Amino acid sequence: MCNLYSLTKGQAAIIALSRAMRDTTGNLPPLPGIFPDYSAPIVRTGADGVRELAMARWGMPSSQFALMETAKKRAAKLEAKGQEVDFKELLRREPDSGTTNIRNTASRHWQRWLGPAHRCLVPFTSFSEHNKAAGGDIWFALSEERPLAFFAGIWVGGWTSVRKIKTGVETLNLYGFLTCEPTEPVKSIHPKAMPVILTEADEVDAWMRAPWEEAKGLQRPLAAGALEIVAKGARSDDSI
């Protein structure tokens, strides 16, 4: 599971590669370490049909089943302490920090967001998979120069939920990105999955515009050897 990535290229590079026509991000600094629930830029299609660069929080809404299971566990702990539990209210306020990586696109939970209106591009220059035995955070990029590329993402606007107990109910724009079977060198570090990466202009355009029957073919790994290990051990990648 990829829960850390870096974006060190500027807005002009993102806009040029994605062919976005509008930028709503303001002054965007380099982001050498993007973690779950951080705000980061995505390229999406606006309500007026214009492709735009915008900010969103990393972590799509988790499924109702996952929240139900978590709430049941919390209710059991409270009841074990002798506390009365209003389960309906407990479930309503169950914190959901979000789902960062999406693999099972056949799930009904994700199908509502697979159309072009909810697809997005997540710009990155490198990403990390953690493997303690291999040295901690292992950073991958398309080359040592860390060229800009995109994860194939989905997003939702105006989602109301509790992300953290201390902040309570919030209404936010959220995003996550798809994963797939890994290839080397990622596979040796994290054998379960790797992000879906788009590197060609036709792939980017298909992801943003094509019907799902066509776009779903992009949920596939890069060819073996297309990525390189560019750093080890650090919790951010600010080498460039």
Q: What is the pLDDT of residue 65?
A: 79
pLDDT band, very low/low/confident/very high, at 64 (cuts 50, 70, 90):
confident
Mean pLDDT throughout 3-27? 95
32: three-class secondary structure by DSSP: strand
Query: Quick one: tokens of 207?
Result: 């992801």
Half-sphere exposure of 88 (CA within 13 A, CB side): 0
From-to residues of CATH 3.90.1680.20 in the chain: 5-61+97-232
pLDDT tens readout for residues 102-130: 999 999 999 999 999 999 999 999 999 99
Half-sphere exposure of 203 (CA within 13 A, CB side): 19
Q: What is the pLDDT of residue 177?
A: 98
User: Is pLDDT above 90 for 68?
Assistant: no
**Which pairs from 161-167 meet CB under 8 Å and 24+ separation?**
161/61, 161/96, 162/93, 162/94, 162/95, 162/96, 163/37, 163/57, 163/59, 163/95, 163/96, 163/97, 163/98, 164/95, 164/97, 165/93, 165/95
pTM of the model: 0.92
Mean pLDDT throughout 220-231? 96
Within 5-107, where are the H helices? 11-18, 64-80, 87-92
Mean pLDDT throughout 145-165? 95
Contacts of 110 (CB under 8 A, 6+ apart): 102, 104, 154
Query: Quick one: tokens of 62?
Result: 């988790």
- What is the percent of the chain where pLDDT is above 70? 99
pLDDT band, very low/low/confident/very high, at 232 (cuts 50, 70, 90):
very high
φ/ψ (deg, to 5) at 113: -115, 20
Q: Which residue has the tokens 């596979």?
A: 187
Fold category of 5-61+97-232 in CATH: hypothetical protein yedk fold (3.90.1680)
Mean pLDDT throughout 201-218? 97
Q: What is the pLDDT of residue 14?
A: 97
* Peptide bond just before 185 cis, omega within 30 deg: yes
pLDDT band, very low/low/confident/very high, at 240 (cuts 50, 70, 90):
low
pLDDT tens readout for residues 78-108: 778 888 777 777 777 778 889 999 999 999 9
